[in-house]
Amino acid sequence: MNFKLAIFDLDGTLLDTSEGIFGTANKAVVQLGLSAVEDRAQLAKFIGPPIAQCFINVYDLADELIDDAIAIYRTEYDQTGRFQARPYEGIEEMLVDLRSRGYALAVGTLKYEPLARQMLEHFGLSQYFDSIRGSDEASTLSKADIVTAILKE
């Protein structure tokens, strides 16, 4: 059996979400009484890993502050940060091309799944995907868990 499938990450692959992520993360730590990070190379560590790990990697956040930081981050990102994203140039054309060549397309992201779906819908990209999978509310899923769920569909 020959099956063509392409799985994409969301942040930094389909959408440039860096400005919203960086600004929102800084707002969260400032609300906790800590200092914002301005170094973009340091902030870039916030894209990719699970959100709790991001707060540790970038801000060296103490364990007892992580849940509060995540709650603030999610609220702020939902209200403003997600609207600072933009699709990378040529993404929609690439998705159309892959679909025309018979590929099934999926998104596998560590971003909270309902938010990932909303963002893809906002930019008119959700229509191209057969599956959109993301993290659960508690951020307990690994990227491997998400990809496995896509492959089982």
CATH number at residue 55: 1.10.150.240
Predicted TM-score of the model (pTM) = 0.80
Contact, 136 vs 113, CB < 8 A? Answer: yes
Q: Structurally, how many domains does the chain consist of? A: 2
Is 16 one of the catalytic residues?
no
Please tell me whether residues 117 and 59 are part of one structural domain: no
Rounded to whole angstroms, what are the CA distances from 55 to 1, 44, 59, 147? Answer: 43, 12, 5, 24
pLDDT for res 1: 57
Q: Which helix (H) or strand (E) holds 132?
A: strand 131-135
Give me the domain span that covers residue 69. 18-84
Phi and psi of 12, rounded to 5°? Answer: 80, 0
Please tell me whether residues 46 and 73 are part of one structural domain: yes
Catalytic residue of the set 9, 11, 16, 97? 9
User: What's the whole-number mean pLDDT along residues 92-104?
Assistant: 97
What CATH number is associated with residue 128? Answer: 3.40.50.1000
pLDDT in tens, 18-48: 999 999 999 999 999 999 999 999 999 988 7
